């Protein structure tokens, strides 16, 4: 890591199939795979960014959205700096599950509900023709849940993906002073030397 680089742990959550892996791969490698497989456990990739003159390494944790992998993903929430809650705009159920994802994150990250925390909401697959969740409905939910920034994205067509990740860092910066000292992972490993490598963990 270059000097004066801050490591930020970013956790991507949401129902299986909404496009979390695809968003991470678009952001880190500028690639899209239409045959993307379900994630088992968690995977992470690092990407270096500079926001307003400050260097950051974003350590992006892509979690498995399917219910059966809950026990594999939840241990990785502790120590997160940013949480990106993801749904697909063509899948109403995935939007309706956002409160469940937020609650699960706060519980396993050991953060009290109501404490300021940098969340971002992504409505992915905006390239799809049939939207079951309108921008107004999603924005209203974000507003009600602590004025969370909302982005309609497409990993496929590369729409607003960089903007959403960069905004997540800006959101972190704006709240940094207010964030409580949060519990760090007990089973931590030093992952800071790895950058843009495909690292899989299904432990």
Point out which residues bind ligand GTP (CB under 6 A): 14, 16-22, 34, 36, 38-39, 64-66, 124-125, 127-128, 154-156
Residue 174: CB atoms within 10 A of its CB come to: 11
CB nearer to ligand GTP: pick between 13 and 148: 13
- Closest distance between ligand GTP and the C-beta of residue 184, in Å? 25
CB nearer to ligand GTP: pick between 16 and 116: 16
Distance, CA of 171 to CA of 65 (rounded, Å): 24
Q: Do 70 and 101 meet the contact criterion of CB atoms below 8 Å apart? A: no
CB nearer to ligand GTP: pick between 66 and 199: 66
CB nearer to ligand GTP: pick between 33 and 177: 33
CB nearer to ligand GTP: pick between 59 and 124: 124
- Closest distance between ligand GTP and the C-beta of residue 26, in Å? 8
Residue 69: CB atoms within 10 A of its CB come to: 18
Q: In what side-by-side order are the strands of the sheet with 150-152? A: 150-152, 119-124, 82-88, 5-14, 54-63, 42-51, 199-201
- Closest distance between ligand GTP and the C-beta of residue 156, in Å? 3
Strands (E), the chain: 5-14, 42-51, 54-63, 82-88, 119-124, 150-152, 199-201
- Closest distance between ligand GTP and the C-beta of residue 160, in Å? 10
**What does DSSP say about strands 42-51 and 199-201: parallel, antiparallel, or unpaired?**
antiparallel
- Closest distance between ligand GTP and the C-beta of residue 55, in Å? 28
């Amino acid at each position: 890591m270059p000097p004066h680089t801050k490591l930020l742990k970013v956790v991507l959550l949401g129902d299986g199939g909404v496009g979390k892996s695809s968003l991470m791969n678009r952001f880190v490698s500028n690639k899209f795979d239409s045959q993307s497989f379900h994630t088992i456990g968690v995977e992470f990739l690092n990407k270096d960014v500079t926001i307003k003159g400050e260097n950051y390494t974003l350590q992006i944790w892509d979690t498995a959205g399917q219910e059966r992998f809950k026990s594999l993903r939840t241990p990785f929430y502790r120590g997160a700096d940013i949480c990106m809650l993801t749904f697909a705009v063509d899948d109403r159920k995935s939007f309706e599950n956002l409160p469940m994802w937020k609650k699960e994150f706060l519980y396993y990250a050991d953060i009290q509900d109501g404490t300021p925390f940098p969340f971002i909401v992504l409505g992915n697959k905006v390239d799809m023709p049939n939207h079951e969740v309108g921008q107004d409905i999603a924005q209203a939910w974000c507003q009600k849940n602590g004025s969370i920034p909302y982005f309609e994205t497409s990993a496929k067509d590369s729409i607003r993906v960089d903007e959403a990740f960069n905004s997540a860092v800006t959101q972190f910066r704006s709240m940094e002073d207010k964030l409580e000292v949060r519990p760090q992972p007990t089973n931590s490993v030093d992952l800071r030397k790895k950058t843009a490598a495909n690292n899989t963990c299904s432990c």
